[in-house]
Amino acid sequence: MKQIIITTWLIVTTANIVTGQPMVQHNAVSLGLAECDATLSNAFSIFGSPAGLAEVPRSNVAAMGTRRFNIKELTMASLAANWRTQHGTVSVGLSQTGFATWQSSLYAASFARRFGRVSAGFQINYWHEYQAQVGSFSNITSQAAIIYHPSNDLSIGVNLINPEQSTIDYGIYTMPLPSVMTIGAAWKPVKGSKIFLEADQPVEGDMQIATAIEGQIHAKLALRGGYSLTRDQMSAGLGIMLKPLKVDLGLQNNMTLGWITSFAITYDI
């Protein structure tokens, strides 16, 4: 059964590559919000919208593990480090998933800065793919994002992933890397809560639309929930603030293959 799920996952991933959706990284926070990350700001924004890194209040380091369908071979491990300077935030990240015969790695470096009501981030992504039958191949893509705050209660984000539409050439075939434009908004109807609405448009494929809500029910606890209208997927999550530590958990239900779970720990320096 496990081998069937792994094979199915690889087939689904390959199909998603064609539509520009695979390998786009998400984190434990955004996973609990149906992957709404265009306006998020946290330690793992380097795997979402780099503009959010400009709004991280302190330097930090973070580690995350994402388990797909409770199968070890489909676990993704991620690390991130963010340094706040007087000129902006410098960030690096590493994410890797795979097993003996297939591995996918992302190495990212980002710089973000806030200019009044606008936060902007630029990022370089180095993608490395290994397949036992064809070898190792890699390429570099860029990413740019902004978050605009027209008011204290409203944020609007735009994130461009791989606008140059770079690919990885395996020699026998070409694999497109994710090339997506994301537009999202977050609104605070009352103190301690946020409502999210987001649309992802890959270069090839259908637009993905999702909505989510986050509520701060206690000074140390936030609950999250989301729904992907396009994929008919439910998400849930929570955040626990234990300064200088923060713990995040995200869950997403894949109707075909089961649950995806993500667990992250952030330490403020």
Q: Which residues contact 254 (CB under 8 A, 6 or more apart)?
A: 69, 233, 260
Q: Give me the amino acid identity at 192.
A: G
Ranked by mean pLDDT, the top range of 7-11, 12-16, 226-230 is: 226-230
Q: Give me the amino acid identity at 153.
A: D
Q: What torsion, rounded to 10 degrees, do the Cα atoms 37, 96, 256, 133 define?
A: 140
Q: Which residues contact 233 (CB under 8 A, 6 or more apart)?
A: 34, 227, 252, 253, 254, 255
Q: Is 242 exposed, middle or buried (0-12, 13-18, 19+ CB in 10 A)?
A: exposed
pTM beyond cutoff 0.75: yes
Measured distance CA(49)–CA(143) in Å, rounded = 9
The model's confidence at residue 3, banded by pLDDT at 50, 70 and 90, is low
Q: Is the pLDDT of residue 214 over 90?
A: yes
The model's confidence at residue 20, banded by pLDDT at 50, 70 and 90, is very low
Domain ranges (residues) in the chain? 2-268
Q: Which residues contact 66 (CB under 8 A, 6 or more apart)?
A: 28, 31, 75, 76, 77, 78, 97, 260, 261, 262, 263
Q: What pLDDT is recorded for position 95?
A: 93
Q: What pLDDT is recorded for position 14?
A: 43
The model's confidence at residue 22, banded by pLDDT at 50, 70 and 90, is very low
Considering only CA atoms, which of 96, 102, 61 is closest in space to residue 77?
96
pLDDT, average across residues 48-71: 92
pLDDT, average across residues 78-88: 96
Q: How far is CA 177 from CA 68, 141, 174, 204, in A?
A: 21, 8, 9, 11
Q: How far is CA 118 from CA 24, 147, 165, 188, in A?
A: 24, 6, 26, 18
Q: Is the pLDDT of residue 96 over 50?
A: yes
Instruction: Say which CATH topology domain 2-268 has.
Output: Porin (2.40.160)
Contact 127, 140 (CB under 8 A): yes
Considering only CA atoms, which of 200, 223, 201 is closest in space to residue 38?
200
Contact 35, 49 (CB under 8 A): no
The model's confidence at residue 224, banded by pLDDT at 50, 70 and 90, is very high
Measured distance CA(249)–CA(22) in Å, rounded = 21
Considering only CA atoms, which of 189, 191, 229, 223 is closest in space to residue 210?
229
